[in-house]
Amino acid sequence: MVVVIGAGKTGRGFLARLLFENGEPFILVDKDKNLVDRLQNGYRISFFSNVRPEIEVQGYRAVYTDDSDCPALLAAADRILVSVGGGNIADVAEWLASMVTANLLEGPFQNIIFCENARDPGEKARKVFLENLPEELRDKADAHFGFADAAVFCTTVEKTPGSVDIGSENYPVLPFDAAKVKGELPETKGFQPVSAFQNILMRKIYTYNAASGIIAYLGWWKKYKVYGDAANDPQILKLLDRNYQETGRAICAEYGYTAEDQAEFAALSKAKFCDKTIVDTVVRNAREPQRKLSAGERIVGPALLIEKYGGDSGVLALTAAAALLYTDKDDAEWEKMKASCNTEELFGKLSGLDREHPFVQKVSAAVKNLVSTGRGVLPEDEVGR
C-alpha cells in the first residue's frame, strides 16, 4: 500500500494516476479537510488534446492529516510519496516525525519519495525530520527511512476552478533517485529508478523549470494571464530560445550530455510550454518568487552555470528582475519581503550572492531597465540582442 501525502494536482492527478493504472492500493492524505471530504467519491482525469479517454479514479481512501488512523497507515506503507510544494516540505517533515515510534523503527525499511519541483527536497526534509525526533531515536530512524527525490515532468491542472477533477498530460514516467532508497522498492510501471539522478534533476531544473520561470515572469510583466499566450509571445519566444542555447551549452559542458541530446530535451520543453491545449495560468507558474530566486533554483542556478562556462546570462537576469518586481496580493510573506528592502538587497538575501557579484549587478541593471520601460513592455535592448 502506498501513501500519497498531498492530494493536490500532482498528488491526485499524476502520482495517484500511476498507482491506479497499475492496480496498486493507495491512500491520499491532505491537510485540507474540505478537499479530503470532496475526494471521498472519486474524481476524473482527462488528458490534454484528448490523446486518450478520460479515466475515473476510484477505490482509494482520502484522509485528513489529523485522522487518528494516520500513524498506522504510514507504518503499513511500503512507500510514501510526498507532493506538497517546496514551501511546505519542513511542515511535512515535522508531521512525519510526530508519527514515529520506537516500534515502527523495528520494522522493514521505509522510503519517502519527494515529488517536488525543487532542489534537494528529500535532504532538506531528512534534516528537519531528524531534528524533530527524540535524540535517542535519530540514528535508528536515519537508518530506517530512505529520503529520495523524484523529478516531475507531468503538468496537471484543475479541470475547472475548485474542481477535484484534473486535466493532465499523458506523461507515463516518474524518475527517482535510486541511490537514496533503502532496501528494495516494489516494482511499479512508471516508477523509474535512476542511478545518476542528480544529473537528471539539475538538467530538468535548468532546462524545464528555468524556461517556465522565463515565460511566467516575463509573461506577467507583459500583462498576460494565460500561460500559453505568454509562451507564444514573439518577444518571449526569442528570449526563451536564446536562453535554451546558452543553458544547453553549459549543461553539456557540466554534465556531459551531447549537444543533439540537449537540443532535443529543450525542444520537448518548448513544445510543452507552447501547447495552448494545456490550459494554465501565469499566476500559478509565477507563485513563490522567493523560492524560485533562491540559490541553486531555476533562475540563479542556471545563470551561474552559464557564467561558469563564459556564456550570456542576460535572459535569466531579466527574468530575475521581473520576478523581483512581481506582485502577489495573496502572498503576504512575499509582499512583506519586498517592502523590507530594495530589490538589490532582496535578491542578495534570496540568492546568497554578494552585492558585488556580476550576476547581482546584471539583475540590478535589468530591474532599472524594466522600471524605466514600464509594465507591459520588454526592453528592446534585451530582446534585440
Q: Is the pLDDT of residue 1 over 70?
A: yes
Could you give phi then psi for residue 275, rounded to 5 degrees? -75, 110
Rounded to 10 deg, the angle between the 300-308 and 234-255 helix axes is 60
- What CATH number corresponds to the domain at position 187? 3.40.50.720
Strands 145-150 and 2-5: unpaired
**Looking at the predicted structure, is the pLDDT value of residue 383 above 80?**
no
**Per-residue pLDDT tens for 131-147?**
999 999 999 999 999 99
- Coil, helix or strand at residue 330: coil
pLDDT tens for each residue of 130-187: 999 999 999 999 999 999 999 999 999 998 888 999 999 999 999 999 999 999 888 8
pTM: 0.82
Q: Is 154 helix (H, G, I), strand (E, B) or coil?
A: coil
Mean pLDDT of the chain: 94
296 pLDDT higher than 70: yes
- Helix (H) / strand (E) element for 110: namely strand 110-115
C-alpha to C-alpha distance for 88 and 145, rounded to whole angstroms? 20
For residues 187 and 204, state if they share a domain.
no
The pLDDT confidence band at residue 384, using thresholds 50, 70 and 90, is low
Range of 166's domain?
2-194
Same domain membership, residue 254 and residue 156? no
| DSSP H or E stretch at residue 212 | helix 210-221
**Are 77 and 11 found together in one domain?**
yes
pLDDT tens-digit readout, 38-65:
999 999 999 998 999 999 999 999 999 9
Which of these three, 157, 177, 194, is where a domain ends?
A: 194
| Contact between residue 41 and residue 17 where contact means Cβ atoms under 8 Å apart | no
Of 194, 210, 242, which residue is a domain's last?
Answer: 194
Span 243-264, pLDDT tens digits? 999 999 999 999 999 999 999 9
Tell me: do 62 and 132 sit in the same domain: yes
Kindly indicate the confidence band of residue 106, based on its pLDDT and cuts at 50, 70 and 90.
confident
For residue 207, give the nearest of 240, 247, 239 by alpha carbon: 247
Domain boundary among 194, 223, 251: 194
